[in-house]
Amino acid sequence: MTVLVTGAGLVGTAFAQCAIARGDNVVFIDPEPRADYLAVRLGARGWRLERGDVRDLPTLIAAAQKARPSAIVHTAGLIGRRVDESLATAFEINLRGTMNVAETARLANVPRLVHISTFGVYDWRRPMTAPIAEDFPRGPGRGYGNFKVAKEMILEAHRRLHGYDLVALRPANVYGVGHFWSGSSGGAKMQALVTAGVNGDTARIPAAEAVPNEYVYAKDVGRAIDLAVTRPAPTGMFFNIGNGAVTPFPALIETVRKALPALTVEIDGKVDDTGRGQPLDISAARRELGWEPAYSLEAGFADYAKDLKAMVLPSRRAP
């Protein structure tokens, strides 16, 4: 089968590795051509890249009509600081773009839409005494998280009216070999650590990123997406995808050093050690999707370092 993927970044390519290995075809639609990155990640076969923007509904529909996909995987959108730089631009890309993707699924008769959300939808300001389940209150009060909540609600309402299958995944901080053009500071932090360890350099990490957090390896996320695309429609709609543990930053550094002993780290600024207080409850994904993480943090970093050493990454500055 063919799957249409909006966005050609870390998460979309992690899914594509699974799909291509299974013999499926993947069509990426992205406004910034990244054939170099895709070739490094995926090789030469099983995928193609179309230039297009989720704000452009006719282009999306044309791509879907040409590909005739059995599913759309929606990963495109601005992240973190890129949202805060211009809420108006982020509104157009993240919210209007999501509505356009939903309309594409309807108008092109695509039977399933898999939306990549985030654990950033949860209101982390609230007291937390147990792992965070999918029914925990949403809306953290910041641009990225609030927009992600709005995207989920747009899709939930659209699906209710039009009847296609909708599965939304909420990954923890995803790490793996990426380009991070869309603004993932957490992913960029992890790549800075691994790159510094591989090269014997010093990783300089902003203090805002040196806090406790939950991490999940991109290959585990790719497998979760693959299950969301291929399995019979689950009963639930929203699924946490994490590793079930919150890792303090010093423990994170020690874990990276097990794979890359040469790593040295400097933190820019004063650290506020009040990061995520509770991990994600991933029991719903285990029960309904048959998914659980295959990589521990240590195994993930070892594999990440191996991939990074084998790749010559393209460099690209965000506009």
pLDDT of residue 314: 44
pLDDT of residue 316: 40
Average pLDDT of adjacent 10-residue blocks, the chain of 319 residues:
95 97 96 85 94 96 97 94 92 97 98 97 94 97 95 97 97 88 75 90 91 95 98 95 95 93 91 81 98 96 89 45
Residue 308: its pLDDT value, please?
86
Query: According to the 3-state scheme, what is the secondary structure of 102-130?
Result: HHHHHHCCCCEEEEECCHHHECCCCCCCC
> Where do the structural domains in the chain lie, given as residue ranges?
2-178+214-244+277-294
Distance (Å, whole) CA 170 – CA 188 = 19
**pTM of the prediction?**
0.93
What CATH number is given for 2-178+214-244+277-294 in this structure?
3.40.50.720
Task: Tell me phi and psi for residue 175, to 5 degrees.
Answer: -130, 150
Q: Are 217 and 113 in contact (CB under 8 A)?
A: no
Backbone φ and ψ of 303, nearest 5° = -70, -40
Burial class (CB in 10 A: 0-12, 13-18, 19+), 46: middle
**89, 54 Cβ separation under 8 angstroms:** no
